[in-house]
């Protein structure tokens, strides 16, 4: 039986939180107050009922429990909770959704108590998986991760990816709370108030489920006590009322994302009755457990014989093993293709730093966000084509300041006979579009190895595109590569055309150089291994000293290397020609496909000669 005084205080806190949630939304003129009202007891009971452990003065404390609002539109509730804890003022709450305020429309890490940016539904539980994996298997800390979920977002496939993997890894430190308030944005959700349907589905995956009345503090507090004793991940399935506490809002459709007008706010506050603005909730302190610290050590040397071709995907795995001593917070996540991406090499060397995420790319990226937010450097690998499934998670990771490295193998038509379903042909464009991202495309094992190391050093999102087929070694073991750089591999004072390439097509360009050299047609060849940021200075120098630029890429023309180079050279008048994948790919040998798409040695030679013939015709007229 719960202590009566404790319950009375929690009721006062709920009233205050409801008042704040309504008032701040009205002040902003927008927001989701009704979605906040339905989960008020669920979250106030968590933070102030004794289960949640947190050091309010030090949000960075590694022992703090973690709270993620996957249901990010309930941000008025989220911010009001911290106000009820005494760390956010009423004045700050009234800056909700105003330009420059950290109290944003959906939570971002601009607000110091936000664990990860949310609001794009179906992502919070995956992030929670990453944080729970970190606590249980890496840092070995006692904190729990709690995730508030909306019933609408349970239709997202990413939720079920998360539910499966959490059971697989036995994450008994992960707690989901579904706010089953029946109403979504435009009407009733798929299951309405059928809480048993949620519980049965989730329980079938190996979770413990607890069905409660989400507005009954005795049931809420009892559920959190049970959580602490469970040996499984736990999902609390709470039946709630959208707009709870305000008669003209309760269980009414049409109020989603609608802030009350001033008159309606006055009516609502009268219904709430007396508000105790002085009441504050108390949060229990966390345990004081120190995570194991590993002192960084120097990386090993690169060793690749110059006479043996190596696939850059293989070099990726070897690079992870080589640099791990220097970056001991690294972890590797792979989508059940580690024997193809090269990540298996790291798995074999450091099995406790590798997480098999199976074929569930959205959850894999979300979990990487959670790991990154707990100080790890996740290297996330799969086929380049399949990362497109997780674009939303990748996009959102930026707003969490997540330090993640993505590796897409099997890129381009050069993978050969597997055909178009396996060919990453949009990946460069996709990652170039990400704010402040870095896009790297190594052409041999040495450059791949070095660029993996550079990616580990860099803070932020990095994408490395690797190749299925083995390619010749171009660089010595001591060659250096920097983000934003390039390599001029062939150059003379008489160069007529510059060919800019990366990856497989760089080797085609070098073969074209040799063929044209025999015909006394000098060309310049640039390895544009850093696609974003570009080495604009080198490109401009080439544009000023040769008549034309040809870009060659095993990627669709839209958003690829050609457009990147053309953008960098926009102020100049030099012609820029783009050889790229322009026809619908099909199965075939790599050589057949490179010829078919006109990105091969033969196509480059043909394009150079076409440009020279055109120049000669112009000169003769």
Q: What is the DSSP letter of 278?
A: T
With CA atoms as reference, report the closest residue to 360 among 342, 340, 399, 333: 333
Written as one string, the DSSP assignment of 533-574 is: S--HHHHHHHHHHSSEEEEEEEEESTTSHHHHHHHHTTTS--
Report the alpha-carbon distance of residue 595 to residue 591 in Å, rounded.
Answer: 6
Q: At a CB cut-off of 8 Å and minimum separation 6, what does 620 contact?
A: none
Q: And the tokens for 135?
A: 């606590």
Q: Which residue has the tokens 């490395």?
A: 464
What 3-state DSSP class applies to 349? Answer: helix
Query: Rounded to an integer, what distance in angstroms lies between the CA atom of residue 432 and that of residue 588?
Result: 29
Q: ω before 533 within 30° of 0 (cis)?
A: yes
**Contact criterion met (CB below 8 Å) for 71 and 301:** no
Specify the long-range contacts of residues 508-514, CB closer than 8 Å, at least 24 apart. 508/552, 508/594, 508/599, 508/600, 508/601, 508/603, 508/604, 509/552, 509/601, 509/604, 510/474, 511/601, 512/601, 512/604, 512/605, 512/608
Cα 161 from chain centre: 15
- Residues belonging to the active site: 361
52: number of CA atoms within 13 Å, CB side?
Answer: 26
Q: Which residues of 489-518 are buried (b: 16+ CB within 10 A; e: fewer)?
A: bbbeeebbbbbbbbbbbbbbbbebbeebee
Q: Whose structure tokens read 């190895």?
A: 449
Nearest CA-CA partner of 240 in 265, 212, 260: 212
Cβ neighbour number for residue 326 with a 10 Å cutoff: 15
- DSSP class per residue in 399-435: GGT---EEEEESBSGGG-TT-GGG-B-SHHHHHHTST
Would you tell me how many other CB atoms lie within 10 Å of the CB of residue 614?
12
Taking the C-alpha atoms of residue 260 and residue 246, their distance in angstroms, rounded to an integer, is 11
Q: Measured between alpha carbons, how far is 429 from 415 in angstroms, rounded to an integer?
A: 19
């Amino acid at each position: 039986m719960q202590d009566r005084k404790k319950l009375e205080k929690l009721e006062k806190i709920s009233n205050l939180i409801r008042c704040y949630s309504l008032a701040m939304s009205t002040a902003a003129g927008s927001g989701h107050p009704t979605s906040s009202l339905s989960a008020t007891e669920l979250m106030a009971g968590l933070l102030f009922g004794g289960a949640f452990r947190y050091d309010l003065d030090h949000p960075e404390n590694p022992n703090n429990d973690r709270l993620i609002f996957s249901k990010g539109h309930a941000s008025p509730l989220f911010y009001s909770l911290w106000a009820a804890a005494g760390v956010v003022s009423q004045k700050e709450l009234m800056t909700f959704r105003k330009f420059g305020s950290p109290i944003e429309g959906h939570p971002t890490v601009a607000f110091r108590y936000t664990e990860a940016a949310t609001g794009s539904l179906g992502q919070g539980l995956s992030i929670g998986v990453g944080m729970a994996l970190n606590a249980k298997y890496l840092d070995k800390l006692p904190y729990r991760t709690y995730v508030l979920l909306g019933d609408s977002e349970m239709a997202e496939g990413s939720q079920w990816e998360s539910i499966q993997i959490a059971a697989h890894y036995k994450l008994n430190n992960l707690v989901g709370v579904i706010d089953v308030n029946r109403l979504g944005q435009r009407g009733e959700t798929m299951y309405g108030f059928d809480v048993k349907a949620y519980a049965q589905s989730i329980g079938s995956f190996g979770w413990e489920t607890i069905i409660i009345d989400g507005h009954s503090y005795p049931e809420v507090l009892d559920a959190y006590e049970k959580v602490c004793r469970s040996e499984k991940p736990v999902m609390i399935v709470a039946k709630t009322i959208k707009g709870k506490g305000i008669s003209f809002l309760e269980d009414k459709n049409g109020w989603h994302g609608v802030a009350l007008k001033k008159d309606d706010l006055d009516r609502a506050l009268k219904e709430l009755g007396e508000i105790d603005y002085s009441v504050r909730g108390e949060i229990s302190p966390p345990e004081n457990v120190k995570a194991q610290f590993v002192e960084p050590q120097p990386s090993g040397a690169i060793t690749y014989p110059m006479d043996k071709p190596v696939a850059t995907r293989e070099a990726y795995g070897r690079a992870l093993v080589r640099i791990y001593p220097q970056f001991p917070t690294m972890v590797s996540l792979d989508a059940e293709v580690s024997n193809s991406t090269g990540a298996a090499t790291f798995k074999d060397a450091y099995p406790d730093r590798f997480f098999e995420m199976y074929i569930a790319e959205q959850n894999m990226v979300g979990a990487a966000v959670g790991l990154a937010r707990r100080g790890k450097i996740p290297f996330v690998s799969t086929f380049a084509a399949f990362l497109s499934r997780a674009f939303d998670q990748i996009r959102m990771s930026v707003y969490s300041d997540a330090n993640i490295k993505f590796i897409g193998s099997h890129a381009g038509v050069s993978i050969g006979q597997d055909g178009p379903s396996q060919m990453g042909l949009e990946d460069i464009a996709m990652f170039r579009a990400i704010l402040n991202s870095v896009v790297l495309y190594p052409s041999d094992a040495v450059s791949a190895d070095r660029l993996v190391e550079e990616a580990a050093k860099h803070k932020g999102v990095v994408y490395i595109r690797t190749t299925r087929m083995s390619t010749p070694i171009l660089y010595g073991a001591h060659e250096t590569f920097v983000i934003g750089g390039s390599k001029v591999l062939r150059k003379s004072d008489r160069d007529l055309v510059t060919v800019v390439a990366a990856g497989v097509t760089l080797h085609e360009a070098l073969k074209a150089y040799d063929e044209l050299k025999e015909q006394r047609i000098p060309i310049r060849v640039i390895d544009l291994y850093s696609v974003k940021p570009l080495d604009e200075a080198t490109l401009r120098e080439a544009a000023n000293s040769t008549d034309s630029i040809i870009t060659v890429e095993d990627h669709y023309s839209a958003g690829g290397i050609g457009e990147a180079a053309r953008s960098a050279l926009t102020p100049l008048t030099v012609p820029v020609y783009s050889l790229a994948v322009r026809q619908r790919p099909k199965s075939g040998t790599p050589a057949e496909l490179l010829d078919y798409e006109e990105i091969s040695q033969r196509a480059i030679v043909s394009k150079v000669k076409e440009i020279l013939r055109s120049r000669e015709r112009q000169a003769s007229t």
